[in-house]
């Protein structure tokens, strides 16, 4: 694998209003930021998958992307991403990164208060196997799921791009940008 693999990290902003900003940071490996894209999804909606596909396909960097990294499988509150469809429609591997194991029981309870609870949970479950990853830079594990890429290669990419913390740089930078735009200053764990 090339150390300069092209990765797009996507994160959402703070939940202020019904439209939630999503930001993508295009990186070469974990060292070099090449570009930024942004768009919106509906808070607690069902449009995250289509919106992210459109955002990626409309980007001038689309043909260079090898991997898309997501900070979790839900965005904008409880707007789930179908990572299999995202991988297929963008022709890229998808890696979902989580700081802790998801509590599916709590997620199911939260989904029950929204329209289409079964569809939401089906998309979350469709993301598949969860694997723990400990990078060389940190003893704090992260957890990943993937689509369109095998797990061993996904683990290697997470470790390669986690250059300054246990969070890969494309996701860390996307988070900083998204929260900085919406809140006026970046905040939260990065």
* Domain carrying residue 71: 6-183
The pLDDT value given to residue 180: 87
Count of CB atoms situated within 10 Å of the CB of 18: 12
pTM beyond 0.85, yes or no = yes
Q: Is residue 109 part of a domain?
A: yes
Q: What is the DSSP letter of 33?
A: E
Residue 151: give its domain's CATH number.
3.30.2170.10
- What whole-number distance in Å separates Cα of residue 52 and Cα of residue 34? 19
- The model's pLDDT over 102-129, given as tens digits with 9 standing for 90+, comes to 999 999 999 999 999 999 999 999 999 9
- The model's pLDDT over 149-170, given as tens digits with 9 standing for 90+, comes to 999 999 999 999 998 888 999 9
Domains: count for the chain: 1
The pLDDT value given to residue 122: 95
């Amino acid at each position: 694998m090339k150390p300069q693999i092209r990765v797009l990290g996507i994160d959402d902003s703070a939940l202020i209003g019904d439209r939630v900003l999503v930001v993508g940071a295009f990186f070469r490996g974990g060292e070099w930021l090449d570009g930024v894209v942004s768009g919106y999804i509906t808070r607690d909606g069902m449009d995250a998958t289509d919106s992210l596909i459109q955002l990626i396909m409309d980007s001038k960097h689309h043909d260079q992307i090898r991997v898309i990294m997501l900070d979790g499988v839900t965005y904008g509150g409880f707007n789930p991403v179908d990572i299999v469809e995202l991988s297929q429609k963008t022709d890229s591997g998808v890696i979902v990164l989580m700081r802790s194991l998801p509590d599916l029981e709590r997620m199911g309870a939260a989904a029950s208060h929204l329209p289409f609870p079964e569809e939401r949970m089906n998309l979350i479950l469709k993301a598949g196997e969860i694997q723990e990853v400990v990078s060389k830079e940190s003893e704090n594990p992260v957890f990943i799921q993937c689509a369109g890429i095998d797990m061993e290669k996904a683990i290697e990419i997470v470790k390669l791009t986690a250059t300054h913390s246990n969070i890969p740089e494309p996701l860390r930078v996307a988070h900083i940008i998204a929260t900085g735009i919406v809140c006026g200053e970046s905040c939260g764990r990065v």
